[in-house]
Amino acid sequence: MPADLPYSPFESSSDLLRRWRRLSRAIARLGAPVCTLLFAACISAGSLGLTALFLKLNGASQMGDAFWISLLVPLPMTLVFGGITFVLIIALENSRSHLDQLAMTDALTGIPNRRRFTLTARREIELAHRHHLPLALLSLDIDRFKLINDAYGHAVGDQVLVEVSRRCRRVLRTTDILARWGGEEFVILLPNTPSDHAHQLAERLRLAVAKSHQLLVQQQPVWVTVSIGAAGIAPGEAATLEALLQTADEALYHAKNSGRDQVFSAAWAAKRSGARA
């Protein structure tokens, strides 16, 4: 698994965009009504000061004039500018959550990207440990993807990635987390899933992709298979995401070396060799 190939649309974005997101996050923390009130207070104070200056320079003839002018000038200004600020802050907040969503999603397949997977998986692993639940992680890699790109072109390769993620999603539960790790590699976190169930599920994923060994992409038949490595933690067992990824990766490497188009499960293999001994 290439550890140095993160995929995020924001890793290449400009500093300006990052600053914009930071500013909008700070505003969001305060909330639109508080920001608007603060802004309106500044506008009121400013326009009151200007009105007072105007009155002083022009020498208001009567106290009544001074009272009405100081009330009528700042009030509409505050309302207009306060309203504009409120609308702008709401628009800013919407664009911020849209940007956050983009930063966590793989642009090609629409599934979570590596960053989102890492955040969610760490939390799920901690929860599994705290509640004594099993958990499994699958590392899925398209076989000989380079040949697909070379034979059909990059656009078809991209469509294959989309179709593989779609097929996987159809097999998985809504609580399972499928993400694109990078390139032609996907990772799947299976909360509350013992290792033998994870192995069976991985087999179903493999068959779902290889079903009739044919994917129709842009009206062209493309033969696709995947290899899957599985790793798991037993109830109460402590593990880090890095350790799980490494074990799943080693299992994937084994599946590739054993001929591809197969599942290799670290826990399942250990159990089998234990039973044989």
Ligand X SMILES: Nc1nc2c(ncn2[C@@H]2O[C@H](COP(=O)(O)OP(=O)(O)OP(=O)(O)O)[C@@H](O)[C@H]2O)c(=O)[nH]1
Residue 33 or 153 with smaller CB distance to ligand X: 153
Q: Measured between alpha carbons, how far is residue 270 from residues 173, 216, 235 in Å? A: 26, 38, 17
What are the residues facing 265 on neighbouring strands? 230
> Pick from 13, 44, 149, 200: which binds ligand X (CB under 6 A)?
149
145 binds ligand X (CB under 6 A): yes
Region from 29-37, 55-63, 155-163, 192-200 binding ligand X, contact rule CB under 6 A: 155-163
Nearer to ligand X, 3 or 80 (CB): 3
Q: Is 143 in the site for ligand X (CB under 6 A)?
A: yes
Tell me the DSSP string of 182-234: ETTEEEEEEET--HHHHHHHHHHHHHHHHGGG-EEETTEEE---EEEEEEEE-
Positions 90 through 129 that interact with ligand X (CB under 6 A): 108
250 is a catalytic site residue = no
Nearest to 189 by CA among 255, 105, 245: 245
- What contacts 256, CB < 8 A, 6 or more positions away? 141, 143, 227
How far apart are the C-alpha atoms of 94 and 172, rounded to whole Å?
31
- Please give the biggest Cα pair distance in the chain: 107
Nearer to ligand X, 120 or 149 (CB): 149
Among the listed residues 126, 184, 203, 242, the single catalytic one is 184
* Binding pattern for the stretch 246-275 against ligand X, x by CB under 6 A and - elsewhere: ----------x---x---------------
Among 154, 173, 211, 272, binds ligand X (CB under 6 A): 154
Nearest-CA neighbor of 236 among 157, 127, 152?
127
Q: Who contacts 218 (Cβ-Cβ below 8 Å, separation ≥6)?
A: 155, 156, 159
Residue 183 lies near ligand X (rule: CB under 6 A)? yes
Nearest distance in Å: CB 266, ligand X:
19
157 counts as binding ligand X under rule CB under 6 A: yes
Compute the least distance from the CB of residue 6 to ligand X, in Å: 13
- Which of helix, strand or coil describes residue 140? strand
Task: Give catalytic residues, as residue numbers.
Answer: 184
Residues that bind ligand X (CB under 6 A): 108, 141-146, 149, 154, 157-158, 161, 183-184, 256, 260
